[in-house]
Structure 1
Amino acid sequence: MMLDAVRHVVDNGVKWVNLPCDFPPYRRVHAFARRRQVTGLLDGLHDRLRDKVRQKEGRGVDPTAAIVDSQSVRAAANIARFTSGWDGGKRVGGRKRHLVADCLGLVLAVAVTAANVQDRDAAVPLPERLRRLYFSVRLVRADGGYAGRPVGWASGRLRTSTSRSRSSNARTAPRGSWCCRAGG
């Protein structure tokens, strides 16, 4: 019942306070979810599910290639102003998710920032986190927004091959710009 309540909040984007009366009291459900998050249970569950999907797709458990990109999302009116910003390139006010995914699109690492933070600045912790969790990654692809410091730093320090696409628009990206080597 508690997991169903947590799933309801996540799937529907409702506030904890607005849980339907069919579920336990929202404070108990929130405490239940928070305990699982703090103990790392949710991260472990995510990792195990990702490994199973990779195996089912005929891939090794450890990825050898990754893709880095960001997505700006609108912030709700009740989000604190200092945690959100304006992304002028995408014309969105809110937050930005910086994702590292494997070739199947499964999430390897995430960083969330205000939307006004440049991709190249926000991505600095991602390669280190990626290297700590997945030492097998040898190829990282990124779009032009990640030019400069993170690309050079990742290549040199982490001994990974990095490459950038000239366009961040998926429809106009050069052919093969998001393809990864076989075995990734």
Structure 2
Amino acid sequence: MSSSLIPQCSSCPPHAVRWHRCAVYPSSSLTDAQWTMLEPLLPPPGNAAGRGGRPEKHCRRMILDAILYLVRGGIAWRQLPADFPPPTTVYDVFTRWVRAGVWRRIHDALRDRLRVRAGRDRCPTAAVIDSQTLPAADTVPRSSRGWDGGKRTNGRKRHIAVDVTGLLLAVVATAASIQDRDAAFRLLARLRDAFSTIRLVWADGGYPGRLVGWANQVVALRIQIIKRIPGSTGFHVRPWVWVVERTFAWINKHRRCVRDYETRPDHHEAMVHIAMIGLMTRRLARIS
């Protein structure tokens, strides 16, 4: 395939480097339709007014392509192909946008748009919560990892809340040693902070005890526990719980999210948001 020059993005400064792209990666590269959705959601470029600081050098579309490629492929930052801007530059943009909450804001805007396209209200009234244990790489420090005795795994857990269609509402990353019901306090507090409209939360049998009373009294959420069928063995589909399990399957299609490599829990939360950003932009591009 012959190389082609990436067109200048409207949000990029005039002197931004336009990289010659030798290949398009079908599972991660942004299409024109996807980029049209994402570009208005990005923060203003650095030094846009020409006062102080170093101006942005690289095309933002290529930066996003590189981050999506890494999340989908599960590679290390230094293994990014030479088609992309330098790995240190890409990583710096990723971490800067984590600190500024950019990934979460982009994700939430796309989720709201997808809910409206599906004929639903922008703000949900119910949610489903669950957790998933991940093995941790040697890049994860001991201070933020732990042993999950039930899953016999040393690593981290991600605790998520989704709406009834499976779209992500909130995510919290903890050490795997943290019990589901203990981490749910943080998850439900974050859920209530983002949505005043939610009244009902479905959960499996791992969330009993004082969490139910606390949620009702403190954050005004009614938790309904979906228990296993008495006497059943092995896997079986439970009402609403299957919705959040399907979301975990969507996230696990992105290999960077199958195993935790991030030194900071908030970086893993950002990886989950980026995985869902890629999924939602593909859906919106298909139905636009």
Q: TM-score band, normalised by the shorter chain?
A: 0.7 to 0.9
RMSD: 2.2
Looking at structure 1, the residues matched to 242 and 218 of structure 2 have their Cα atoms a distance apart, in angstroms, of 23
Offset of residue 91 of structure 1: 2.7
Aligned partner of 1:121 among 170, 182, 201: 182
- 1:170, distance to aligned residue in structure 2 (A): 9.2
Q: Which residue of 2 aligns with 1:96?
A: 157
Change (3 A) 1:177 1:42: closer
The two structures have a TM-score, normalised by structure 1, of 0.87
1:139 is aligned to 200
Higher relative contact order (CA 8 A, sep 6+): 2
Query: Are 1:55 and 2:93 counterparts?
Result: no
1:49 partner amino acid:
L
Structure 2: tracts of 5 or more residues without a match: 1-61, 244-288
Deviation at 1:77, TM superposition (A): 3.4
Q: Which has the higher strand share?
A: 1
CA contact (8 A) 1:166 1:173 kept: no
Match 2:132 to one of 71, 91, 109: 71
- The whole-number CA distance in structure 1 between the counterparts of 2:99 and 2:107 is 14
Seq. identity, %: 44
Gaps of 5+ in 1: none
| Letter aligned with residue 172 of structure 1 | H
1:29 aligns with 2:90: yes
CA distance in 1, matches of 2:211, 2:234: 21
| Contact preservation (8 Å) 1:54, 1:61 | yes
TM-score normalized by the length of structure 2: 0.57
The Cα shift of 1:178 comes to 4.0
Letter in 2 for 1:140: V
Larger radius of gyration: 2
Q: Match of 1:22, SS?
A: coil
- The offset of 1:94, in angstroms, is 1.5
User: How far 1:135 sits from its partner (Å)?
Assistant: 0.4
